[in-house]
Amino acid sequence: MASECAALTSSVTLNTGFEMPVLGLGTYKAKGVDVRNAVKWAIEAGYRHIDTASIYRNEEDIAEAIRDSRVARESLFITSKVSPYQQGYEKARKALQESLTRLGTDYLDLYLVHWPGASSVPVTSERNVHLRHETWRAMEEAFREGRCRSIGVSNFLRTHLEELLSASSVVPAVNQIEVHPYLTQEGLREFCASKGIRVEAYSPLGCGELLSDATVVRLAHKFGRTPAQVLLRWGLQTNLIVIPKSVTKERIEENARVFDFDFELEGEDVASLLALNKNERFCWSPEGVR
């Protein structure tokens, strides 16, 4: 078990120089005892990367589980996000401090702009661009102050990234987007790589829809693994950071075993999963956000 836990610290180096574990625990829609148990079980299984957001309303529960785990803060990688309701310079500064307080820490390893648009602003409005700039300015300051070791974005398309890069001094370290074999996002991923931006995949299991896909099931049988492990392994082998969400102990432990030393997809297997792409989203689409 010790070797498995050690493997869960497998990481990539961000453009800030900090290491980010490539497997994390997603916590969307998990609250109360569910998220406290999920974080507890994840840490026991060797996870050191926890992903949350202010809009999830579970940061205090996550903080409690982390305190109970007795794992040193510096051993953990904690991500949170500024919500669409908190965009703008002053609001973003306040949002960060509130997240830090709820999480019981004086810094975040990664802080993301959760969505390219702002709440109560029409998606086609130029005001979205202005608020993104102001939000990013606040995050750049927090980065320089050391309150955020790395900063990044989520759900940004290439157009959003190009616009942000043209008006900022800090390149986002991460773009967290929906990625799985039905939505491979190869063009966006190539653009991010060209700018030194790591891509982090949420919903890497396609909200569960891909678990019964014939190709995924065939590969699971081929390797004696579960469909979830095949999908996560595909993500890791295509240079993604993956954050599967679960509140079930068995599934959290199952996902951790994606690092077993004898488990690696072959080139033709990776290609067969890439071929499943049909640009199908199971979550939100940022298309149309100015």
Place of tokens 């961000």: 14
Banded pLDDT at 5 (limits 50, 70, 90): very low
Instruction: Give 208-248 pLDDT, tens digit per residue.
Output: 899 999 999 999 999 999 999 999 999 999 999 999 999 99
Question: How large a percentage of the chain has pLDDT more than 70?
Answer: 97
Number of domains in the chain: 1
114 labelled binding-site residue? yes
102 in any annotated domain = yes
Rounded Cα gap, residues 24 and 38, in angstroms: 12
- Residue 1's pLDDT is what? 32
186 in any annotated domain = yes
Q: Please, what is the average pLDDT of the chain?
A: 95
The alpha carbon of 239 is separated from its chain's Cα centroid by a whole number of angstroms, namely 13
275 in any annotated domain = no
37 in any annotated domain = yes
288 in any annotated domain = no
- Residue 132's pLDDT is what? 97
Q: In degrees rounded to 5, what are phi and psi of residue 199?
A: -105, 130
Banded pLDDT at 8 (limits 50, 70, 90): confident
Q: Is it the case that residue 3 has pLDDT exceeding 70? A: no
| Lowest mean per-residue pLDDT among 5-14, 163-172, 224-233, 279-288 | 5-14
Mean pLDDT, residues 105-124: 97
Instruction: Give 143-202 pLDDT, tens digit per residue.
Output: 999 999 999 999 999 999 999 999 999 999 999 999 999 999 999 999 999 999 999 999
82 in any annotated domain = yes
Query: Does the annotation count 182 as an active-site position?
Result: no
Instruction: Give 61-110 pLDDT, tens digit per residue.
Output: 999 999 999 999 999 999 999 999 999 999 999 999 999 999 999 999 99
Q: What is the CATH number of the domain that holds 104?
A: 3.20.20.100
- Ramachandran quadrant class, 148 (left: phi over 0; alpha: psi -120 to 50; beta: rest): beta
283 in any annotated domain = no
| Lowest mean per-residue pLDDT among 126-130, 180-184, 205-209 | 205-209
126 in any annotated domain = yes
Domain containing 23: what range? 2-207+240-247
* Of 56, 111, 182, 202, catalytic: 56
